[in-house]
Amino acid sequence: MKRNRRDAWPRIVIALAVTACVVSPAVLQSQSAAPAPPPILLGTAWYPEQWPESRWDQDLALMQQAEIHMVRVGEFAWSRMEPSEGQYDLDWLDRAITAAAKHGIYTVLGTPTAAPPAWLTEKYPETLRIDENGHRAEHGNRQQFNFANAKYRELARKIAEQMAKRFGHNSYVLGWQIDNEYAEESYNPDAKAQFQQWLQARYGTLDNLNARWTTAYWSQTYSAWDQIPIETRYGNPGLLLSWKRFVSDTWRSYQKNQTEVIRANCDPRQFLTTNMMGWFDGFDHYTVSQDLDLAAWDDYVGEGHLDPAKNGAAHDLTRGFKRKNFWVMETQPGFVNWAPVNNSLDKGEVRAMAWHDVGHGADTVSYWQWRSALNGQEEYHGTLLGADGTPVPLYSEIQRIGSEFAKAGPVLAGTSPKSEVAILHSYDSRWAINWQRHNHDYDPIAEIVSYYKPLRAISQSIDIVPPTAPLAQYKLVVAPGLNVVSDEAAKNLIDYVRQGGHLVLGQRSVMKNDDNGLQPARQPGPLAVLLGGRVEQYYALVDPVPVEGQWGSGTSQLWAELLSAQQNDVEVLERYGKSNGWLDGQPAAITRKVGKGRITYIGVWLDEPTMAAAAKWMTEVSGVKPALGAVPDGVEVYPRYGEHGAVYILVNFSKSTQTVSLPGPMKDVLEGGSKQSIVLPVYGLAVLSVERQP
């Protein structure tokens, strides 16, 4: 399950099924009815239940004209599928799937459990979620359910089972999306009781829990499991982290409640996923992704314009959940309805964003939504058709994307990103820092992106993976703000360095143990011996602190750590200038060779120019080379590699036309011919291929 996808569809489905379904010869025969879908899919969210069936064919014909080959349906249609308890109506959905198939359009089915029907919440009020303030949700929105409630899970499992029995062997159903955008945790009595049971299973005894949480502090010692409360913002750090881990495990079990029954009734060709939300940290996505076949996320810009670094890092984060290609299950067609200012993306920006997605490893880009609903909470959200059912101006740009995906699909089939650089990321660390920022502007996402942006500009490809992932393939591994480090993760990092890798630890790394308690050894804890130095003290900053050294002169606005070099072979890379007296002249960044490997610690939040110089140094000493070669600022390079060679996607996000000289002749996949250089207008792009030499 860890290997990258090597074929656009036929091979992925072999790797996808974790539990094989029993397939009869008759079913196998039905599978052959649908041809293989395109390698790179353009899709949209379609809600046939909102419109008369007489309209369906017209909608699907417009999709076909735009070369849209996938629709996601059903994820909010529970009241239509089960109008009263135990009375199921899936005939309309069958007709919608059949109608789409006639236009060469495949379906991803969403289980509708994010929006329970009114009869359910009225009959079973215990299924309604209670929020942190004790308020019980009411009907009229979505995600009003209690994710820990046994009755809700029973009813959710039943509707998923009915859908799977009906469509689990439909050859035009590609796969399943479980629920929609998991987000709202529950504070109901049953959730609290389950949390206490979870703690007992994890810690075994109260003596163990009390010791590991240091509950002697503030007289927090517990003598019974049911004394332990739920805390989410300010409380014992061990309690805070345990609650988030429980939430993650509960979402995983909530999901398994449906995936198990779908797998039992499905064709192994059909995948299971859910649509996550990029940098959202309501749960640990690595935990929840374990039982899925592929990762998917909903990619929205909101106010403003695409930030290729922050958005690209979110793509690479999502790709790291399963360490293979992923889907963009939703993305904005121009604008949204929930931002402070719902501006539209520029003409050409939606197309550039679609190729940015594919470049980072997306094999599907799907727009939310197809047509404006006539009512409901999202009336003003961008669409491809207006409420009147006719195309909006963006439709022609979507048509162009569809045509380009069709042209480039055969070359991109079986390809995926491959990187020499990895950034380590953990939800435990982000939560731990956010609970105790120490400087209100200390954003752990911004810290990651501050390293990601210059490193990606140089290397042109980065993986974002958890600290326990295999690391041997990387020449450079960077860990910004890896605050919470388990014994397993520490051993993985030490082994990586000893085997010849270059590990760079960013500020606030390795402060905490696996229970969110301070390491007994000074930062970087179990890695300090390897580093030959340590953090003597950390400082949240009110006034900027100057730094200077091998990376030039700069300042830190937020954070500074006073480092010490305790071994003679430790090299000081940067020192602090005159500031608060404690930091004056002290090391701000140090490095040490360890056999064939190297470990570096950066204790200062560097400004952009100094960080760019630091990234240049990191890549040079690690032997990291750009995938394509030097390109003008603002031009993004996205390499994807496969059995037959490499494909390079180039997108110009700068504000002027750029000319890119290529390292050798390359095939221009979209325009044809062989090119030695290309000219890219603003938001212009190119897809270039190079065949592998025998």
Q: Are 421-622 and 635-691 the same fold in CATH?
A: no
What is the reported pTM? 0.94
**Per-residue b/e over 107-139, b at no fewer than 16 CB within 10 Å?**
bbbbbbbbbbbebbbeebeebbbbeeeeeebee
25 class by beta-carbon count within 10 Å (0-12 exposed, 13-18 middle, 19+ buried)? exposed
Per-residue confidence (pLDDT) for residue 693, from 0 to 100? 72
Cis geometry, peptide bond prior to residue 537 (ω within 30 degrees of 0):
no
One-character DSSP codes across 394-442: THHHHHHHHHHHHHHHHHHTT-B---SEEEE--HHHHHHHHHT-SSTT-
pLDDT-based confidence at residue 30 (cuts at 50, 70, 90): very low
pLDDT-based confidence at residue 33 (cuts at 50, 70, 90): confident
Render pLDDT for 480-511 as a digit per residue (tens, 0 to 9): 999 999 999 999 999 999 999 999 999 999 99
Q: Does the structure show a pLDDT above 50 at 20?
A: no
State the DSSP H helix or E strand holding residue 92, giving kind and residue range, or none if neither.
helix 91-102
CA distance to 310, 449, 450, 544, per residue, from 446 (Å): 8, 5, 6, 18
Region 519-534 average pLDDT: 96
pLDDT-based confidence at residue 317 (cuts at 50, 70, 90): very high
Region 671-691 average pLDDT: 97
State the DSSP H helix or E strand holding residue 159, giving kind and residue range, or none if neither.
helix 150-167
Region 300-320 average pLDDT: 98
Render pLDDT for 165-220 as a digit per residue (tens, 0 to 9): 999 999 999 999 999 999 999 999 999 999 999 999 999 999 999 999 999 999 99
Per-residue confidence (pLDDT) for residue 337, from 0 to 100? 94
Percent of the chain with pLDDT over 90: 93
Rama region for 324: left / alpha / beta (φ>0; ψ in -120 to 50; rest)? beta
Crossing angle, helix 395-412 and helix 349-359, to 10 degrees?
20
Crossing angle, helix 427-435 and helix 444-459, to 10 degrees?
140
Render pLDDT for 541-565 as a digit per residue (tens, 0 to 9): 999 999 999 999 999 999 999 999 9
Task: Give the right CATH number for 10-187+230-412 from 3.40.30.10, 3.10.350.10, 3.30.300.350, 3.20.20.80.
Answer: 3.20.20.80
User: Collapsing DSSP states into helix, strand and coil, what is residue 60?
Assistant: helix
Per-residue confidence (pLDDT) for residue 568, from 0 to 100? 95
Per-residue confidence (pLDDT) for residue 86, from 0 to 100? 97
Per-residue confidence (pLDDT) for residue 694, from 0 to 100? 67
Residue found under tokens 């163990």:
208
As a CATH number, domain 635-691 is 2.60.40.1180
Render pLDDT for 622-638 as a digit per residue (tens, 0 to 9): 999 999 999 999 999 99
pLDDT-based confidence at residue 12 (cuts at 50, 70, 90): very low
Determine whether 122 is an active site residue: no
DSSP strands (E only) in 215-305 = 271-273, 275-276, 296-299
Q: Does the structure show a pLDDT above 60 at 18?
A: no
Region 140-166 average pLDDT: 96
Render pLDDT for 559-607 as a digit per residue (tens, 0 to 9): 999 999 999 999 999 999 999 999 999 999 999 999 999 999 999 999 9
Q: Does the structure show a pLDDT above 50 at 101?
A: yes
Cβ–Cβ under 8 Å, residues 660 and 650: yes
Adjacency order of strands within the sheet including 326-331: 271-273, 173-177, 106-110, 70-73, 41-45, 362-367, 326-331, 296-299, 275-276
Mean pLDDT of the chain: 94
Per-residue confidence (pLDDT) for residue 140, from 0 to 100? 84
Catalytic residue (choose from 181, 185, 349, 420):
181
Per-residue confidence (pLDDT) for residue 660, from 0 to 100? 97
216 class by beta-carbon count within 10 Å (0-12 exposed, 13-18 middle, 19+ buried)? exposed
Q: Does the structure show a pLDDT above 90 at 7?
A: no
Residue 45 tokens, joined: 């969210």
Q: Does the structure show a pLDDT above 80 at 406?
A: yes
pLDDT-based confidence at residue 376 (cuts at 50, 70, 90): confident
Q: Does the structure show a pLDDT above 50 at 27?
A: no
Cβ–Cβ under 8 Å, residues 258 and 178: yes
Region 311-326 average pLDDT: 98
The domain limits of the chain are 10-187+230-412, 191-227, 421-622, 635-691
Q: Does the structure show a pLDDT above 60 at 666?
A: yes
Alpha-carbon dihedral angle through residues 195, 197, 198, 200, given to the nearest 10 degrees: 130
Query: How far is 480 from 603, CA to CA, in rounded Å?
Result: 10
Per-residue confidence (pLDDT) for residue 692, from 0 to 100? 84
Catalytic residue (choose from 330, 349, 447, 561):
330
Query: How far is 549 from 593, CA to CA, in rounded Å?
Result: 19
Cα 640–Cα 180–Cα 403 angle in degrees, nearest 5: 40
Determine whether 330 is an active site residue: yes
Per-residue confidence (pLDDT) for residue 377, from 0 to 100? 86
Query: If you classify domain 421-622 with CATH, what class do you get?
Result: alpha beta
